[in-house]
Structure 1
Amino acid sequence: MFRCSNDEARRGDCLNRRLILVFSLYALLPTLVVPLMLLPLSPAWGGLLVPLVLLTNSWWAFQHEAMHGTLLHDKRANRLIGRLHAIAFGASFDLLRWGHLLHHAHSRTIRERSEVHEGERPSVGFVVAYYLRIGGGLYLAEVIGTLVLLLPRAVLVRLVGYLDRPDNVVGELGVRLLEAPVLRAARIDALCVLLFHTGVFWFYGEYAWMYALALAGRALAVSFVDNAFHYGTALDEPRRAMNLALPPPLSALILHFNLHGAHHLRPGLPWWQLPSYHRAHDLGYQHAWWPALFRQLRGPIGAARFETA
C-alpha cells in the first residue's frame, strides 16, 4: 500500500523538484544575496537572516531526504543535490549521510544514546558535553569533522583509532569514510566548504558578525532538535522514536520530520508519505513538539532508571 506507484513516484519527484528550487534559493539568500545585493543597500537587510535561521530544520529535513536517497529517483542527481546543499550547510555529504545511517543502526544502543550515563551520577565532563551537544555542539562537530578529512589518510586512521570507543560510532564511521572513493569525494566537499564559507565571510566584510551569528543559530537549531525524538525513550530499540505533535502546516513546513517514529519504522519512505503511514498504523503522538524539545534541558539520565522503568 505504501510502495510508490509509478504515478506517485512521478508526483513525488515533481514535488521534490519544486523543493529543490525553493531550498536552493534559501541556501543562496544568506550566502550571496544578502551580503552582495542587500547589505550594500542597508544593514537592516541583515534582519533577513533571522527567519532563515528559524527555517534551518526545514532545510535539514530536505537534506535528510537526499541522505536516504528519497529526494530524487535519479541516484546521481539525488547525490549531487545532497552534496551541494551539504556544502552550503557546512559539512561533507558523506559525513552527514553515514553519520545519519549509523544513527538508524545504533539509536538507543550503547553506541548512540547521548543523554544516558552509567553509574549513580554523571561526571561533570559528561554533563558539560551533553549540554554543549544540544546547544550547538553537534553541528560544530560536523563542521570540524568535515575539515579534519583534509588531513593525510594515515593521520585520519590514527585519529579514528584514538577516538573510537564502545559508546560511539566513530570506528564504523571511519571505516566508511576512509574508503578511497568516499574519502576522495568527502575531501572535495571539505575543500568546497572551506573555500565557500571563507568567501561568504569575505562577502559580508564589516558585517561578517551577522553571518557568524546566523551560523551559531543554525548550530543551535540543528543540535537542539536532533535528539529530542529519542530523549528518555527505551534503550536497545533502534527502530523506536517519538512522533511529536505539530499543527499540520508546521509539520509540512519541516517535511513531517516531527513524525520521527514513523520514519524510524520506515526509513526509506519519502517525507510526503509519512502522514498517511502514521495515520494508517495509528502511531499517535508521544509528546508535543515544544515540550519534547525543552524537556531535554532536564539533563542526562542514568541507565539504571531505564532498567527499573
Structure 2
Amino acid sequence: MRRLIGAAVVGLGIELVVLPLWLLPRSPAWGLLLIPLTLLTTPFWSLLHEAIHGSLVRDRRANDAWGRVLAIGYGAPFALLKSGHLLHHRYSRTERERTEIYATGRWASHAPGYYLRLFGGLYLAEVASVLLALLPERGWAALVRRTDRPDTITGLLFDRVRRRFLTQFRLDASAVVAVHLAAFLAYGRYGWMLVAALAGRGLLISLADNAYHYGTRLDASLEALNLRLPRPLETFVLAFNLHSVHHRHPGLPWHELRTAFAADGDEFHDDWFAAVGKQLRGPLPAGTLIASSPGVRRH
C-alpha cells in the first residue's frame, strides 16, 4: 500500500509542481502528460477511499494524515469526503440518499439537476465546499438548519463536519486553495491545461459515483452492484468495481475483496461500462423500483 501512496504523491507532484515549473517551460508538448494523469483518477479515488475506511495504513493517525494529503491533492477537505462517504454507507437507497430517484414531480423537472451532477457537478460541489471555511460557527449552524431535510444527507453532513472536524476542515480547505492556486499561477499561460485536467477528473468522478447503485432496490442500504471488469482493470481500480462486496464488508481493504467475492458466492450484475452508460437514461420515478424484492436488481 505504501508504494501506491508513493505513486499517488509522485503523480500529484508531477501535475502540480514538476510540469508547470520545469517541463512546460521547455515544451508545451509535456502537457500531454496530464492525459494519463487524469486517467489515473479512479485508482487515485480508490486509494483515498481506502483512507476514508481506515484501510490505507494500519496506524489510524497515519491513515488519516495520508488521507488528508491525498484529499488536498484531490481538491476537497478529507473531513468532508470521509463524512459524506460514511453517511452514504448508512443511508444509501433510503429516502435521504437516492441520487437518481424522484418521488414527486415530472421527469423534466428533475433531469437538469441530475445530469449536472452526473457530468461533473458532484466533483464541483466537493471542490466548492472549500468556500464554507469562511463561514463562522453561527453560519455553519444556520447552514445545517437550512439544509437538514428528510430527502438529503446534506444537513447531516454539514452538522458532522461542524461538530467534529471544523478546525481540520478549515485548515485543509486553506491548503486546497493554496496548493491549487499556486499550481495555476505556476502554469501561467498554460493554466487552461490544469483546468482541463481537473475538469476531466470531475467528469470521471461524477460519472462513476452512482453507477454502482443506479436502479437498485430502495430502502436497502447494503444494495450495490458488482460491475465486471477485466482482471487487470479490476486491479487498476483497486477492486472498486466489487462494490456489492464492499458495502457488505466496508472494513475490508481492497486486496481482500476478490477473496470475499468468492467466499460469498457473489456474482457480477453488469459490465462496468454498460452500467455507467445506463445512467444516461436519467432520473427514475420511485414507483419503478420494488423496495421489498429480494436481492440486487439484475440487468
Alignment partner of 1:26 is 2:6? no
| Alignment equivalent of 1:278, drawn from 261, 281, 287 | 261
Between the aligned partners of 2:112 and 2:105, the Cα distance in structure 1 is: 17
- Give percent identity, aligned residues only: 47
| Alignment equivalent of 1:293, drawn from 266, 276, 279 | 276
Alignment partner of 1:166 is 2:150? yes
Letter in 1 for 2:124: L
Instruction: Compute the displacement of 1:156 (Å).
Output: 1.6
Secondary structure of the 1:238 match is: coil
Q: Which residue of 2 aligns with 1:198?
A: 181
In structure 2, list runs of 5 or more residues that go unmatched: 294-299
| Alignment equivalent of 1:86, drawn from 61, 64, 71 | 71
Q: Which residue of 1 aligns with 2:83?
A: 98
Instruction: Compute the displacement of 1:174 (Å).
Output: 2.0
Q: Which residue of 2 aligns with 1:3?
A: none
Q: Which residue of 2 aligns with 1:245?
A: 228
Moved more, 167-176 or 75-84: 167-176
Q: CA RMSD in A?
A: 1.2
Letter in 1 for 2:68: R
Q: Which residue of 1 aligns with 2:244?
A: 261
Spell out the pairing of 1:19-98 with structure 2 (5 A cutoff). Answer: 19-98=4-83
In structure 1, list runs of 5 or more residues that go unmatched: 1-15
Between the aligned partners of 2:134 and 2:266, the Cα distance in structure 1 is: 43
Instruction: Compute the displacement of 1:160 (Å).
Output: 2.0
Instruction: Compute the displacement of 1:123 (Å).
Output: 4.5
Q: Is the 8 A contact 1:150 1:191 kept in 2?
A: no
Instruction: Compute the displacement of 1:271 (Å).
Output: 0.4
Alignment partner of 1:225 is 2:202? no
Instruction: Report the CA distance shift for 1:247/1:307 in structure 2 as closer, same or farther (over 3 A).
Output: closer
Between the aligned partners of 1:182 and 1:118, the Cα distance in structure 2 is: 33
Q: Which residue of 2 aligns with 1:153?
A: 137
Q: Which residue of 2 aligns with 1:110?
A: 95
Name the count of aligned residue pairs: 292
| Alignment equivalent of 1:142, drawn from 90, 108, 126 | 126
Q: Is the 8 A contact 2:144 2:156 kept in 1?
A: no
Letter in 2 for 1:195: A
Between the aligned partners of 2:194 and 2:273, the Cα distance in structure 1 is: 26
Between the aligned partners of 1:76 and 1:260, the Cα distance in structure 2 is: 26
Letter in 1 for 2:193: M
Q: Is the 8 A contact 1:147 1:194 kept in 2?
A: no
Q: Deviations over 1:231-290 (max 9, x none)?
A: 000001111100000001100001000000100000000000000101111211000010
- Give 4+ residue runs of structure 1 displaced > 6 Å after superposition: none
Spell out the pairing of 1:4-15 with structure 2 (5 A cutoff). Answer: none
